[in-house]
Chains A and B, each alone.
Chain A
Amino acid sequence: MTTINANPDAILDTHASRDNYLTHTRGFLSWAFTLDHKRIGVMYLVGVLTAFFVGGIFALLLRTELLTPGATITADPNVYNQWFTLHGAIMVFLVIIPSIPAALGNFILPIMLGAKDVAFPRLNLFSFWLWMAGALFAVVALMRGGFDTGWTFYVPYSTTTETGGVIPVVVGVFILGFSSIFTGMNFVVTIHKLRPPGMTWFRMPLFLWALYSTALIQVLATPVLAITLLLLIVERAVGIGIFTPSLGGDPVLFQHFFWFYSHPAVYIMILPGMGIVSELFAVHAHRHIFGYRFIAYSSVAIAIFSFLVWGHHMFVSGQSPLINTLFSAISFSVAIPSAVKVFNWTATLYKGSISLTTPMLYALAFLILFTIGGLTGLHLATLNTDVHLHDTYFVVAHFHYVMMGSALIAMIGGLHHWWPKITGRLYNERLGSLACIIIFIGFNVTFFTQFMLGSHGMPRRYYDYQPEFTTYHQISTMGSYIMASGFLITAWCLLSSLWNGERSPANPWGGRSLEWQCSSPPPHDNFPTQPRVGDCYDFSCVVWSEEENGYVVDRSLDPELNPNAPKRAGAH
């Protein structure tokens, strides 16, 4: 049905006024001290994307150095060591961990709930200031001589290396940890307490399930990182001896502490991405997500299991074979919920009406890259193969497939999906799609070769390498340049839409969740009152409006919201 019921309650007011959150107040201070979750999300977005750019530069530098064995663009291995350390630390702590929750989540979560804001807006602003402070400390660390410890800061190297930036950057990461904790706290309370009428737990959009599970991990795991870093700072500064062998300490204890956080951290990175992908598939295939409950349960299951498997990073560290066996067995348990999700997403394409928009392309790219990344985790969870593959490029390839090829790709996909909502502009679809394809090709060229490099024995964090590995390294570096150009095109595509893009309707894609039922960009306080919701994956109420040049959600067609709605035939 394409007629629109004239009932004024049927469609939420999507262009209440020309005033939106961007124009509501003006001036630097109105942004620096804003309590509006949308503005905070936008500021995070700018920060995270800038950090991504900087981290990417370091990646390109190190890949360029690896074009030839020996010196290529620098003759000093210490410089190379700093590049890979900075690349890792910036990407992990400043980009991937905050990106989806803090940038996209902050913006979308309250609107998806029909709420005016998160539960603790001032805490939210404080989280952002902490992120800025963490970034500042990273800059200070660079000015104090940088750091070359690897992003994992293993002792005794990190307590004895003479580069002067170790303590500043560790302080910075400590601060970033609290930014993450407070965001997590905020999201858990918001989802528990601020849901609208009709939105029971199993009526929440899956993005919210993902953010909720992520927030649980953020709250429970990050404090352990905080104490680990505190102990590291104290160990380096005054030598209490807890990690230093010559003073009676144990370097492997550091690894246990570090990975107790850092393994759940990787699920902080991927879970929100999975949440976005659920939204992308449902909306752009115009179809109810397949297996909603399993996907929701598996998000929580992944969050819980993630705490039990940290030792699989330490199979050759010298910990006992018994512990190794236990960790290997439990690590496989995390594979199962992820596998279920992959099958469910694929099944969502079945009998859908798939629009190959840019967000859908990113979702499809995610499906392929996450499958590869996840499957190669099997090699690493398996005890005997991991002995060979640990600390080689195989691991580097695996985690880039899941962190970059999956989490980051999902983030960029989500960015394209919600770009019209956030900015009120439509970007050029052809350019966006082209960029996605270039990134996909470049990514695979860069990182698939690294699987072979690793299985042939090429170790990680090597400035120099044996000549037989040269060809693979060169192919990988070429891939990185291709990927970089893809990202530059994406940046151009999105940024130019701010000036040249067509104005966006409230609901350009045909989504059903609440964020598509307010204007693009949203007004300052989102919704005047929290609307009642039905099933956010029931697209039969979503109809095209010529006048809007976009979709609208006609609530009068939903029997849950309107008792007089016409009965619907067909599958539910």
Chain B
Amino acid sequence: MISSVLAITASAMATAQATPLIGIGDDFWLPPAASTFAEGLDQMFHFINWLCYFFFALIAVLMVVFVVKYRAPKGHSFRTDGPTHHLPMELTWLIIPLILVIVIFWLGFAGSKTLGVEGYVGLITPPRNAYEIQATAKKWSWLFKYPNGVMSDDLYIPAGEPIKMVLRADDVLHSFFIPNFRVKRDCVPERYGYLWFQADEPTGHSKFHHLFCAEYCGTGHSNMNRRVFVLSRPDFDAWLAKEASWLDVIPDDELYFKAGPKLFARCVTCHSLDGTRLTGPSWKGLWDRINEGSGRFTDGKSYRDLIGPGKQFQTPEDYIRDSILNPAGHVVDTYSPAGMPTFKGQLNDKAIDALIGMIRHVDEFDPKTGQWLKAAEKKE
């Protein structure tokens, strides 16, 4: 359910429904080689594979031939002429594999231009002029931050340029994995990690590469998938400019209508819209509960105690804003105090207003289709 809501919500704001670029059905072993070093890595993979096919065939064939040829005769007497050792042979099948593994190690580490193999050294050395994008992993979503401040749920990159990802995690271990680019790196909390890649072939907005979290992180581990769009430089610049101002260009009275669902993509793994209890309370009926004051917090106080004129939160909007920026301050009863991370620094005031509007109008939103059922209600 989660992934379908996410996909639908994401598409509610994207252009057409995009499709992934996959290899199953095309290639027996590997997905599309979409980064500049992917083919070099695939060469290594295939080289090892062919060695494996050879040795496997050798052992299997010998085994079958011997079993057939040297089957025990009827009765209980057996041959006694089987050799017990043969030093030259034993040394041969020790030394040849030793040489082979040294070759494999060296190719894996340093690569080889002549054989077209990209080594590990090339994989981990980002070029100096790489374009930096910061990726932050948390349970259970990714957030990509661009140098100009744009924040995006999906990863958009310019084609033909080296990209350096600066990886962080907010809570537990995650791992940034793009199969088509052949890159992976764990995201460790309170540490920065780097990886780099370059994709030359644009995907446009209608096709994408998968981005998976590859380090087990709990409930939503398999639903942190994101999409990687490779855009030609002009397209990328256009996208970046549009994203930088997308929230600003939306008139206030259409804020929740246009921006709410897109921003909600960051909330969807923990808050449902249909009443289902997830890691956090469902938004269904939330506005009413806050206004009636009927909910309770873990410290025993009720909404009514804290929300209202003269109280800690003058208005329900104040309370919602505080929950987004300082979630540990007051936790709804029966929910975990460690459940919600803060969004301080990620959502500006306009974004918060959009989400508040969405909470107010949640009954008018159909989570299954990701569409509003009613036209935007003009703000009074």
Contacts and interface: CB of A to CB of B under 8 A. Distances in A.
Taking the complex as a whole, does A directly touch B, i.e. does some CB pair lie under 8 Å apart? yes
B183 A387 contact: yes
Interface in B56-85: 56, 59-60, 62-63, 66-67, 70-73, 76-85
A214 to B, nearest CB: 22
Contact of A252 (B23, B108, B188, B220): B188
A56 B98 CA distance: 37
B164 interface: no
B218 A318 contact: no
A389 to B, nearest CB: 8
A405 B216 CA distance: 25
Contacts of A288: 82, 84
Given A375-B55, A466-B20, A336 B98 contact: yes
B188 A391 contact: no
Contacts of B107: 382
B222 A77 contact: yes
A336 B31 contact: no
A126 interface: no
Interface string A167-209: 0000000000000000000000000000000000000000000
B221 interface: yes
B10 interface: no
Nearest to B54: A375
Interface stretch (B45-53, B127-135, B306-314, B359-367): B45-53
Contacts of A155: 173
A524 interface: no
A379 B121 CA distance: 17
A367 B76 contact: no
Given A339-B93, A383-B108, A316 B81 contact: no
Contacts of A348: 82
Contact of A464 (B25, B89, B223): B223
Contact of A462 (B94, B185, B221): B221
Interface stretch (B174-182, B247-255, B371-379): B174-182
Contacts of B51: 375, 378
Interface residues of B, number: 97
A456 B29 contact: yes
Interface stretch (B207-215, B233-241, B342-350): B207-215
B1 interface: yes
B190 interface: yes
A570 to B, nearest CB: 5
A456 B172 contact: no
Given A387-B183, A456-B24, A150 B210 contact: no
Contacts of B82: 285, 287-288, 290, 348, 350-352, 571
A1 to B, nearest CB: 9
A314 B335 CA distance: 35
B189 A156 contact: yes
Among the interface residues B23, B111, B118, B190, which one has the most CB atoms of the partner chain A within 10 A? B190
B165 to A, nearest CB: 13
Given A286-B78, A340-B94, A382-B48, A77 B220 contact: yes
B67 A390 contact: no
A332 interface: yes
Interface string B304-327: 000000000000000000000000
B36 to A, nearest CB: 14
Interface stretch (A270-278, A353-361, A406-414, A439-447): A353-361
Given A288-B82, A294-B90, A354-B71, A463 B221 contact: yes
A67 B179 CA distance: 22
Given A291-B85, A335-B101, A463-B222, A157 B172 contact: yes
Interface stretch (A5-13, A38-46, A134-142, A322-330): A322-330
Contact of A540 (B3, B80, B190): B80
A328 B45 contact: no
Contacts of A379: 45, 48-49
B202 to A, nearest CB: 21
B184 interface: yes
B59 A371 contact: yes
Interface residues of A, number: 104
A332 B102 contact: yes
Interface in A304-320: 316-318
A544 B49 CA distance: 47
Given A324-B120, A367-B59, A461-B216, A376 B97 contact: no
B66 A245 contact: no
B175 A316 contact: yes
Contact of B84 (A285, A367, A385, A572): A572
Among the interface residues B49, B60, B82, B117, which one has the most CB atoms of the partner chain A within 10 A? B82
Contact of B225 (A246, A352, A355, A466): A466
B12 interface: no
A561 interface: no
Contact of B20 (A342, A352, A468, A570): A468
Contacts of A364: 63, 67
Contacts of A368: 59-60, 63
A222 B264 CA distance: 48
Interface of A: 2, 70-71, 75, 77-78, 81, 148, 150, 154-157, 160-162, 245-246, 251-252, 285-294, 316-318, 321, 324-325, 328-329, 332-333, 335-336, 339-340, 342-344, 346-356, 364, 367-368, 371-372, 375-376, 378-379, 381-385, 387-388, 390-392, 452, 455-457, 459-466, 468-469, 471-472, 510, 537, 539-540, 543-544, 551, 568, 570-572
Given A388-B182, A466-B20, 20 more contacts: A81-B219, A156-B171, A160-B338, A162-B338, A245-B191, A286-B72, A287-B82, A288-B84, A289-B84, A294-B85, A339-B94, A340-B94, A347-B83, A349-B63, A353-B78, A353-B79, A371-B55, A381-B108, A391-B184, A456-B179
24 contacts: A77-B220, A77-B222, A81-B219, A252-B188, A287-B82, A292-B84, A328-B120, A347-B83, A349-B70, A350-B83, A352-B70, A368-B59, A368-B63, A375-B55, A378-B48, A385-B41, A385-B44, A387-B123, A390-B184, A456-B31, A456-B179, A466-B225, A568-B80, A570-B81
